[in-house]
Amino acid sequence: MAKTNAAFMSGVPELLVLRLLSREEMYGYQIVRGIRQATGESIILAEGVIYPTLHGLEKKGYLSARSRTVEGRSRVYYHITAKGKKRFAAISKQWNKITASVNACLEFAYV
Amino acid sequence: MSNQNFSKKIAQARVNMLQAGVSPKYVRRSITELKAHFADLKEKHLQDGMNQSEAEILAGQQLGDLQEIVRQTAARKELLSFISLHPRLTLFVFPLLSYVLMTLLCIGAILVAVELSGMNTLADGEPLPSGILPFFHLVAVYLVYLFPVLLAVALVYLGTQRLFRQKHLLLSLVLISILGSIWNYSITGGVVGEGSINLTVALFGFAPPFGFNADYFLRAVVRILCIFAVAYCFWQKLSASQAETD
């Protein structure tokens, strides 16, 4: 299965992660599964790359993390903060604006 | 990627992240999460009917290139440690500032002791009541003689945790030991109820405006050697325990 072109992915993992975590807290593996499922497997990332994104979002205060041991395995669960919710609202608005503009451009009938 | 290969690669990724200046907190977290993620992927593939080797290879491929993860982590400035963002400040300016603080604390301690002793002035050779001599001893010994050693040990600890360049660490240790050797302190008890203190600055025995003093020179050499010896032993011990962990 081919991985998604990285050049098109700038900022997308952040948007997807915030979206997924706005529903429930999850750990890295679950987030990657969640992205695959929610996008119908059309967005496939190198799975380990999710961690720099998660850590960056946590450092910026958009996510908070807590460690839990589940079935003998150490898990770090992430959940969205109030600041993260605001950030999600802002970037999803931007995203909608950009996609609408790109679609308009693609559908524009050139004469 | 077999389990053994993965362990080697993850150990290398840990070293590379530290060398790139990623905060140790996030290095530890990344390693823990990547290992757990690999185990989850492997478990899933085993449940899907793959054999051990196939499951490990596919899990490694899905996790992606660990060096790419290192690059992406290091590219996020917010994940870098303060020390790696400001190495000169940490290795050279902070030690200097801490010596300034030490000097101020020393002078403060003397002033407090003078105040407690009821003396009005602090002239050279002024008699000092014996009751406050232990206080002076403690403050002076800890601040003037032990502080540089503790500073060197702290620096070595930071350096090995964050994998500083050895050249920078050595230069900083040289600075710490030279600066740490310039303060000279002596105290005499004398007869009961009397004593005197002497706090002098001398660089390799040269104490302006008094000129060269062989006693201070010897003290400086011994202290530089002590600071280096303690720092070196600590460095070796930390490196050995880190190698064992890896």
Is ipTM > 0.95 here?
no
Helix, strand, or coil here: A70?
strand
What's chain A's average pLDDT?
85
DSSP summary character for residue B182? S
Considering the domain architecture, whether residues B47 and B94 belong to the same structural domain is answered as no
Higher pLDDT, A34 or B200: A34
Q: Would you say B113 and B106 are in contact if contact means Cβ atoms under 8 Å apart?
A: no
Domain membership flag for residue A15: yes
The phi and psi torsions of B22 (rounded to 5 degrees) equal -70, 140
Contact B41 A47 (CB under 8 A): yes
Specify the pLDDT at position B183: 77
Domain span including residue A101: 6-107
Confidence bin at A6 (pLDDT 50/70/90) = low
Domain membership flag for residue A1: no
Q: Would you say A15 and B33 are in contact if contact means Cβ atoms under 8 Å apart?
A: no
Q: Would you say A18 and A57 are in contact if contact means Cβ atoms under 8 Å apart?
A: yes
DSSP summary character for residue B79? G
Q: Give pLDDT tens digits for B9-57.
A: 898 999 899 888 899 899 999 999 999 999 999 999 999 988 988 999 9
Q: In sequence order, which residues have a C-beta less than 8 Å from that of residue B3 and are 6 or more positions away?
A: B56
Query: Nearest C-alpha of chain A: how many angstroms from B30?
Result: 7
CATH number at residue A56: 1.10.10.10
Domain span including residue B44: 3-80
Confidence bin at B190 (pLDDT 50/70/90) = very low
Query: Structure pTM?
Result: 0.69
Specify the pLDDT at position B100: 83
Domain membership flag for residue A64: yes
Specify the pLDDT at position A56: 94
Taking the C-alpha atoms of residue B126 and residue B146, their distance in angstroms, rounded to an integer, is: 26
Residue A89 has pLDDT above 80, yes or no: yes
Taking the C-alpha atoms of residue B50 and residue B53, their distance in angstroms, rounded to an integer, is: 8
What is the amino acid identity at position A78? Y
Considering the domain architecture, whether residues B61 and B94 belong to the same structural domain is answered as no
Considering the domain architecture, whether residues B227 and B161 belong to the same structural domain is answered as yes
Query: Nearest C-alpha of chain B: how many angstroms from A107?
Result: 35
The domain boundary, picked from B54, B80, B106, lies at: B80
- Site from B6, B66, B72 to mutate, A interface, most A CB atoms within 10 angstroms: B72
Q: Give pLDDT tens digits for A14-61.
A: 899 999 999 899 999 999 989 888 888 777 777 888 999 999 999 999
Considering the domain architecture, whether residues B103 and B219 belong to the same structural domain is answered as yes
B36 touches chain A (CB under 8 A): yes
Domain membership flag for residue A102: yes
Q: Would you say A54 and A31 are in contact if contact means Cβ atoms under 8 Å apart?
A: yes
Taking the C-alpha atoms of residue B32 and residue B10, their distance in angstroms, rounded to an integer, is: 10
HEC letters along B195-239: CEEEEEECECCEECCCEECHHHHHHHHHHHHHHHHHHHHHHHHHH
Which of A29, A49, A52 is closest, CB to CB, to B40? A29
Q: How many CB pairs under 8 A join A and B?
A: 70
Residues of chain A with Cβ-Cβ distance to B33 below 8 Å are 27-28, 51, 76
Domain membership flag for residue A34: yes
Residue B171 has pLDDT above 80, yes or no: yes
Q: In sequence order, which residues have a C-beta less than 8 Å from that of residue B17 and are 6 or more positions away?
A: B26, B27, B30, B70, B73, B74
Considering the domain architecture, whether residues B143 and B109 belong to the same structural domain is answered as yes
Considering the domain architecture, whether residues B73 and B87 belong to the same structural domain is answered as no
Rounded percentage of chain A residues whose pLDDT exceeds 70: 88
Following DSSP, what letter does each residue of B28-59 receive, concatenated? HHHHHHHHHHHHHHHHHHHHTT--HHHHHHHH
Q: Would you say A78 and A65 are in contact if contact means Cβ atoms under 8 Å apart?
A: yes
Domain membership flag for residue A69: yes
Dihedral sign, CA of B98, B101, B106, B107? positive
Dihedral sign, CA of B53, B56, B61, B65? negative
Counting the structural domains of chain B, the total is 2
The domain boundary, picked from B80, B109, B126, lies at: B80
B65 touches chain A (CB under 8 A): yes
B residues 108-147 closer than 8 Å to A (CB): none
Q: Give pLDDT tens digits for B125-165.
A: 555 565 666 666 677 777 778 888 998 998 888 887 776 77
Helix, strand, or coil here: B64?
coil
Specify the pLDDT at position A62: 96
Domain membership flag for residue A83: yes
The domain boundary, picked from B46, B80, B114, lies at: B80
Closest-CA residue to A4 (of A46, A35, A44): A44
Which of A48, A55, A65 is closest, CB to CB, to B37? A48
Locate B176 and state its tokens: 């710490």
- Largest pairwise CA distance in chain A: 65
Higher pLDDT, A10 or B229: B229
Counting the structural domains of chain A, the total is 1
Considering the domain architecture, whether residues B114 and B206 belong to the same structural domain is answered as yes
